Structure formats: structure tokens, C-alpha cells
Homo-oligomer: A and B are copies of this chain.
Amino acid sequence: MQFCFVTLSLMIKAVLLGGGNVAFHLAKALLRASNVSLVQVYNRNLDAIKHLAHETQLTDNLKQLIASDIYIISVSDHAIKSVSEKLPKRDALIVHTSGGTVMSVLENHKRTGVFYPLQTFSKKRAVNFNSIPLCIESNNPDDLRLLDTLAKEISNQVYHINSIQRHQLHTAAVFVNNFVNHLYAIGDEICTLSNIDPNILQPLIQETALKVKDLKPIDAQTGPARRGDHQVIKNHLENLSDNHREIYKLLSQSIAKTYGKKL
């Protein structure tokens, strides 16, 4: 009995608020963690979290939240403030999971923090939370320690990132995720319009990503803009749509500038 009591006292109790992509995967990771007890999941729409019914307690009522060490608000950015304000005040740590939202949005609570997983999530794709960078922040050293312990329960990559850094990191993520995906879409479109199976680009896409595991991207750069090869660039520009041509020009100029070439 005593052993059982000691074990339980080391468990971190967590309540998760949200039913979107991040919350979906975070719930799974928290349920798998050895020393975390996900005691409740809230969502305004129970349907989105009903798959968790056998694993934890569910609610769609913020007034019925149960006692916990930490409340993790994992809702869309514009809803964080309103959920935080409706959250009854208690002596617990309140965090959000957003890369693009300042910590102070939670300022109606005394103990606040951020627990931001830097990854792109969709419900259909399994993710290995172990390798997802968790960016944590809190003004209170004890709370930061609690967040650090919780984060290390589900990931091997825990970073202490303040709000200013997180803002920049979120911008960087837009470049390497949103914008990169858009360039994939453009490559796809160019192939399709020329009756080429766009899957032909897959090995190149994968190798381009894998290459920067070993090499800094600045050292991995190749291509006509890197070499200052006007003729190839001119040839490429000829057959592009206006929209794609503008993107081609601007990115080529940026590459050329980076390597001291003139276009």
C-alpha cells in the first residue's frame, strides 16, 4: 500500500483542453507516458474526443473540470484567450500549446506557461512524439521544472524557449513547412501540366530533406542561381506562369545574393 501511495504521488496529473490535431496527438502521448495521468479531456464538442472515452474522463463543460497539476489548452490560436478566461481560477499551472501566441494571453491566471510541440500534425498521420521538439516556457522556476518533467515524459527533445524566441521559431517553421509545401505543390503542378507523373519528384524531395540532416542548408545549396547561371534561369522563366515566374525570380535573386552572385 505504501509503495502504491509513493508511486501515485510522483505522477503528474494533467487535463487537456481541445480536440484538434495537436490535442489529438498530445492526448495519445500523455496517455502513453509512464508518470503522467491524463485525468480529463475537455472539448466543446464531445464527438471530436469520444475516441478517448475508454481512456480518460471527458467533458464539454468548463465548469466541470476536475483537480489537476496542469491544464493544457490546446485549441486554435484565436480561442486560447477565451478558453483561458472561462477556466475557473485554481492553484495549478495553465499552459497553451501555440507557437504563435504569447504566454501573456493566459494572464488571468497566476501560474502560466507554454508547451509548444514544433511539428505539423494531422489526425490521419501517426507521429512519434519522442522525436518532436517540445518548447517550454514559464516565468516561475518551479513551474518550468514541472513543465520540463512533463515534457521529458513524452519527448527526448525539450527546449527552453522564451516568447520572443518562440515567435521567431514559429516564423521559421512557416518557411520550412508551409512555404516548402507550397513549392512542392508548384513542382507537382508543373509536372502535371506537362503530363509527367508528379511522383517522379518524390526521391528528389526526400533526398533534399535528408541532405540537411548531415549538411547545413547553406552548404547544401546547388542550382543555377547558386552558380549565377543566367542562361538556365532565362530558359526556366520562359515557360512559367506569371505567379510561378515571380516566385522563381525572387528566390533565385535571394540565393544569388546569399552567395555573392549577380543575376
Contact = CB atoms under 8 A, between A and B. Distances in A.
Interface in A204-218: 204-218
Main secondary structure on A side of the interface with B: helix
A220 B187 CA distance: 14
Interface of A: 77, 100, 118-120, 122, 124-125, 127, 131-133, 135, 157, 159, 161, 164-165, 167-188, 190-191, 193-197, 200-218, 220-226, 229, 232, 235-236, 239-240, 243-244, 246-248, 250-251, 254-255, 257-258
A70 B22 CA distance: 55
Given A200-B133, A222-B120, A239-B167, A251 B179 contact: yes
Contact of A120 (B120, B207, B229, B240): B207
A172 to B, nearest CB: 4
B161 A173 contact: no
B174 A223 contact: yes
8 closest A-B pairs by CB: A178-B223, A209-B209, A184-B217, A185-B217, A176-B187, A172-B187, A172-B190, A168-B194
Report copies per complex.
2
A200 B204 CA distance: 23
A168 B196 contact: yes
Given A185-B221, A190-B168, A200 B120 contact: no
A255 B120 contact: no
17 contacts: A118-B204, A120-B208, A161-B196, A167-B236, A171-B236, A171-B240, A173-B201, A174-B236, A175-B244, A177-B204, A177-B205, A178-B251, A178-B255, A180-B209, A181-B221, A188-B216, A209-B210
Given A173-B187, A180-B205, 18 more contacts: A120-B204, A157-B200, A165-B194, A169-B190, A169-B196, A171-B190, A171-B240, A172-B186, A172-B187, A172-B188, A175-B186, A175-B247, A177-B205, A181-B212, A182-B251, A182-B254, A182-B255, A247-B250
Nearest to A213: B202
Contact of A183 (B179, B223, B232): B179
Contacts of A201: 118, 172-173, 176
Given A172-B191, A208-B177, A235-B100, A200 B159 contact: yes
A226 to B, nearest CB: 7
Contact of A191 (B169, B184, B196): B169
